[in-house]
Amino acid sequence: MDYRVEHDSMGQIKVPRSKYWGAQTQRSYENFNIGIEKIPTELIYAFAILKKSAAIANYQLGKLDKERFDLISKVCDEITAGSLNDHFPLVVWQTGSGTQFNMNINEVIANRGNEIAQKELLHPNDHCNMSQSSNDTFPTAMHIAAVISIEDNLLPSIDLLIKTFNRLMKENEGIIKIGRTHLQDAIPITFSQEISGWYSMVVKSREMLILTLSGLHELALGGTAVGTKLNAPPGFDVEAAKAVSQLTSKQFITAPNKFHALTSKDALVFAHGALKALAANLMKIANDIRWLSSGPRCGLGEIFIPENEPGSSIMPGKVNPTQCEAVTMVAVQVMANDVAVGISASQGNFELNVYMPVCIYNFLQSVRLLSDSIASFNNKCVTGIKANKEKMDENLNRSLMLVTCLNPHIGYENAAKTAKKAYQENISLKEACVELGFLTAEKFDKIFNPKQMT
């Protein structure tokens, strides 16, 4: 491999000639050969937005000249366009402040900018990191990436599922089926009522997510090393936040207390709690759907779902609820990620949290997995749900818990005796009730109406 020699405050080091990163990135690349988990692409792009916003603020405040401002802006645009992805090689498992990654992006901007200018104009620290510290840029990029991922990816996927459940509610009005509690027969319910529960779970999860966004819209940028704003000009934090808002078309503001913004990750914990709640709801919904579609002959079989691929390498003709399984595995991962996010956030020692890379890695993975799995679940499964009306009716009429409607007329204990007799002798509730002398056949028929029970 062809190399060039770069230097930093620790001396010289060889860097691949084809890469735009510099000495500090190379040192991190060599010192942290741990795992395969790279800094997420969403965070790389958020950093590019941050760096361009900082350049805008520095230019407006007279700290940065026009030529350097234009160069930084141009390279940041290249980064967000994805054309420089190969120049960010660092893993999550590095310094807890993310300093090396902050320098990675500074070095790429500087070296690529100087290549464009064909002269040495940009220095990674003096210009690309002007008025900044890794300690305020990394938490700022975390919030930018979190907001963009939730608003642009997750919420649209959620909206797809809400729309589908709303359609299914309307299509299945009036279809009566047996309800279930404790995996046991309960009293009747309409299929549209059952779907309405799923619909409301997703709607509520969306509302919870929206509530968490206000904290994520606060940016630490401008606090510099420990929150005192050292080396940042007056007004830099406000102007930088305005620039981020303009570049993202989202309403970011500067955090009112930079000491809090640098050391606390409570906004991410709060938001991930909503992600966990969404995952819990999705786990429940997917489990309901695969239970109801179980069979085809020896399960509940009350709904049909799309058959997407063969389900067994040995059993011909077998088809499985694979989209449900994918969603539930994602839910498990998100719940596990919540533990990592929470523990990471608890490690804010003095003026800085030093678990930021692992915190945002897990957060963004949760958002990405939920966004993708919800869209897949919706498009490949939920949109194709069909009621098996015959099976629903069969199960409804065989249920012993319809006896509940007799309580006001013969009392709870007599109704229990009726249900037990019907079960033990494998006869109908009507036959049992009449044989026990609790009601006449005519009176039973008048009282017994599953539709009214819904």
Q: Which amino acid is at 21?
A: W
Residue 105 contacts by C-beta under 8 Å, 6 or more apart in sequence? 44, 47, 48, 51, 79, 88, 128
Contact assessment for residue 353 and residue 96, using Cβ atoms and an 8 Å cutoff: yes
Same domain, 141 and 282: yes
Q: What pLDDT, on the 0 to 100 scale, is given for residue 450?
A: 87
Q: What pLDDT, on the 0 to 100 scale, is given for residue 348?
A: 83
Same domain, 238 and 370: yes
At 200, which helix (H) or strand (E)? Answer: helix 191-216
Q: What pLDDT, on the 0 to 100 scale, is given for residue 133?
A: 98
Same domain, 300 and 427: no
**Percent with pLDDT over 90 in the chain:** 98
Same domain, 124 and 202: no
Q: How far apart are the first and last CA of the chain?
A: 73
Same domain, 20 and 113: yes
At 218, which helix (H) or strand (E)? Answer: strand 218-219
| DSSP 8-state secondary structure symbol assigned to residue 39 | P
Q: What pLDDT, on the 0 to 100 scale, is given for residue 171?
A: 98
In whole angstroms, give the CA distance from residue 347 to residue 345: 5
What is the domain count for the chain?
3
Task: Point out the residues that are catalytic.
Answer: 182, 312
Contact assessment for residue 39 and residue 101, using Cβ atoms and an 8 Å cutoff: yes
Average per-residue pLDDT in the chain? 97
Domain boundary among 362, 390, 418: 390
In whole angstroms, give the CA distance from residue 75 to residue 52: 9
Whether 167 has a pLDDT exceeding 90, the answer reads yes
Same domain, 371 and 419: no
In whole angstroms, give the CA distance from residue 57 to residue 170: 52
Q: Are strands 253-254 and 218-219 parallel, antiparallel or unpaired?
A: parallel
Q: What is the pLDDT of residues 392-423, one digit of tens each?
A: 999 998 999 999 999 999 999 999 999 999 99
Contact assessment for residue 91 and residue 38, using Cβ atoms and an 8 Å cutoff: yes
User: Residue 29's CB: how many other CB atoms inside 10 A?
Assistant: 19
Give the 3-state secondary structure of residue 97: coil
- Which residues constitute the domain of residue 300? 135-390
Gyration radius of the chain over CA positions:
30
Q: What is the pLDDT of residues 226-252, one digit of tens each?
A: 999 999 999 999 999 999 999 999 999
In whole angstroms, give the CA distance from residue 228 to residue 359: 24
Whether 1 has a pLDDT exceeding 90, the answer reads no
Same domain, 110 and 229: no
Contact assessment for residue 38 and residue 92, using Cβ atoms and an 8 Å cutoff: yes
Write the CATH number for 446: 1.10.40.30
Residue 97 contacts by C-beta under 8 Å, 6 or more apart in sequence? 134, 135, 138, 352, 354, 356
Domain boundary among 65, 98, 130: 130
Q: What pLDDT, on the 0 to 100 scale, is given for residue 11?
A: 95
Q: What is the pLDDT of residues 16-58, one digit of tens each?
A: 999 999 999 999 999 999 999 999 999 999 999 999 999 999 9
Q: What is the pLDDT of residues 184-216, one digit of tens each?
A: 999 999 999 999 999 999 999 999 999 999 999
Q: What pLDDT, on the 0 to 100 scale, is given for residue 208?
A: 98
Contact assessment for residue 434 and residue 442, using Cβ atoms and an 8 Å cutoff: no
Write the CATH number for 160: 1.20.200.10
In whole angstroms, give the CA distance from residue 139 to residue 97: 9
Q: What is the pLDDT of residues 347-393, one digit of tens each?
A: 989 999 999 999 999 999 999 999 999 999 999 999 999 999 999 99
Same domain, 162 and 276: yes
Same domain, 114 and 146: no
Same domain, 104 and 171: no
Q: What is the pLDDT of residues 112-162, one digit of tens each?
A: 999 999 999 999 999 999 999 999 999 999 999 999 999 999 999 999 999
In whole angstroms, give the CA distance from residue 84 to residue 113: 12
Domain boundary among 130, 163, 179: 130
In whole angstroms, give the CA distance from residue 54 to residue 102: 13
Same domain, 439 and 334: no
Q: What pLDDT, on the 0 to 100 scale, is given for residue 128?
A: 98
Q: Which amino acid is at 326?
A: A
Contact assessment for residue 387 and residue 191, using Cβ atoms and an 8 Å cutoff: yes
Same domain, 122 and 149: no
Q: Are strands 3-8 and 11-16 parallel, antiparallel or unpaired?
A: antiparallel
